[in-house]
Amino acid sequence: MARLRVLRHDPGREAGPRYQAFEVADVPGQTVLGALFEVQDRQDGSLAFRYSCRGAVCGSCGMLVNKVPRLACRTQLRDVLGEQPSKLRRYGPLAATPEGWDPATEVLVEPLPNLRVVRDLVVDMTPFYEAYREVEPWLVPDGEPPAGRERQMTQGQVRHLEDLVGCILCAICTGACPMYEGKPDFLGPAALAKAWRFHEDPRDMRREGIVEMLDSPEGIGGCELVYNCVRTCPKGVAPGGAIRKMKEEAARLSAKEGDGR
């Protein structure tokens, strides 16, 4: 058996969160998501958490496991029982540990930080999706597409986009990022990486316009290149790397503008 310590909270009803311990079977292949289902299905139907694909492609089940943002479906229970502390930069919610939690014997499960709790492990994703919309995440092509065929791209150009396209918008980077503190309007790593995906797409005509649009304190200025997002991204998107390139491009653009004066 393995022990989970799960944050429970119903903000409409309770003043603050509490932690509840559950015993679950520790069979090989058991994931954190599987363990949560064992609780919900057999022990306590009141536990709330998001899920869908259970195969690490839909991005529903991002949560904090032992203070590290991860996909619950892809996290093997045995791998996180008694694991070494992570190398993430610890900020508020990643640093504070609940009283009584014994990392050697218990897996700690909490909602993603930087998003309001709706109930238990379900967070309000509205600001996350709003930031995504804010960056205008769609292709703006140069003119009409060729009739009856595709726009030409080389496989090299596609390959260059693939890691960025692979983003599943799970908000794990949001939960890992220390930069939201006092900056609720920060667009965050996922939205900025999405913008960079279109910047890098040879079919998109906006080019530097994308960087100019996001060269603001809420945009790339809000990032201090801590790279917690890169360390926790389950898909290898490396949002921090994209933001660094955007910052370099913004610096180049403003230098050019300076020259022009």
Partner 1 sequence: MAGSQDSALSSSTGGIEAAEFAVSHDVAVIGGGLAGLRAALAAAAAGADVAIVTKVHPLRSHSGAAQGGINAALRDDDSPEMHAFDTVKGSDYLADQEAVMVMAREAPARVLEMEHWGCAFSRTEDGRIAQRPFGGAGFPRTCYAQDRTGHSLLHTLFETCVREDVRVYEEFFATRLAVSGGRCVGLVALDLKEGRLVGIQSRAVVVATGGYGQVFARSTNALINTGDGAAIAYRAGVPLEDMEFVQFHPTTLFGSNILMTEGARGEGGYLVNGSGERFMARYAAKAMELGPRDIVARAIQTETDEGRGIGGRPYVHLDLRHLGEARIIERLPGIREIAMHFAGVDPVREPIPIQPGQHYSMGGVACDVHGATDLPGLYAAGEAACVSVHGANRLGGNSLLDTLVFGKRAGEAAAAYARTAPEVVEGDLRGAIEEEVDRVGEVLGRPSGGPRPAELRAALREAMFARFGVFRDGAAMEEGLDTVRALRGRLDEVSVDYKGVTFNQALVSYLELDAMLELAEVVALGALRRQESRGSHARRDFPARDDEGFLRHTMAVRTSEGPALSYRPVGLGVFEVKERAY
Site residues, partner 1 (CB under 8 A): 10, 12-13, 29, 40-42, 44-60, 74, 118-120, 122, 125, 129, 132-133, 136-139, 141, 145, 148-155, 157-159, 161-162, 165-166, 168-169, 198, 201, 203-204
Q: What are phi and psi of 8, to 5 degrees?
A: -120, 135
User: Smallest distance from the beta carbon of 165 to partner 1, in angstroms?
Assistant: 5
Give the 3-state secondary structure of residue 51.
Answer: coil
Please check whether residue 128 is in contact with residue 59, taking contact to mean a CB–CB distance below 8 angstroms: no
State the CB neighbour count (10 A cutoff) for residue 216.
Answer: 13
**Residue (51 or 101) nearer to partner 1, CB:** 51
In the complex with partner 1, which residue's Cβ is closer, 69 or 178? Answer: 69
| Residue closer to partner 1 (CB basis): 128 or 186 | 128
Region of residue 98 (left: phi > 0; alpha: psi -120 to 50; beta: else): beta
| C-beta closer to partner 1: residue 5 or 9 | 9
Measure the N-to-C terminal CA separation of the chain; round to a whole number of Å: 70
CB of 64 to partner 1, least distance (A): 18
Both tokens of 56, joined, read: 């690490």
Cβ proximity to partner 1: between 10 and 181 the closer is 10
Query: Smallest distance, Å, CB 185 to partner 1?
Result: 19
Residue 91 or 235: which CB sits closer to partner 1?
Answer: 235
Q: How far is the CB of 94 from partner 1 (least distance, A)?
A: 23
* Shortest Cβ 156–partner 1 spacing (Å): 9
Contact 229, 70 (CB under 8 A): no
CA dihedral sign, ordered 79, 82, 87, 93 = positive
> What does R_g of the chain's alpha carbons equal in angstroms?
21
Q: How far is the CB of 141 from partner 1 (least distance, A)?
A: 7
At 67, the amino acid letter reads K
Determine contact, residues 222/181, Cβ cutoff 8 Å. Answer: no
Distance, CA of 214 to CA of 230 (rounded, Å)? 20
For partner 1, the closer CB: 101 or 129: 129
Which residue type is seen at 28?
Answer: P
Is residue 117 within a helix (H) or strand (E), and if so which, with residue range? Answer: strand 117-119
CB atoms within 10 A of CB 256: 10
Min separation Cβ 232 and partner 1, Å: 15
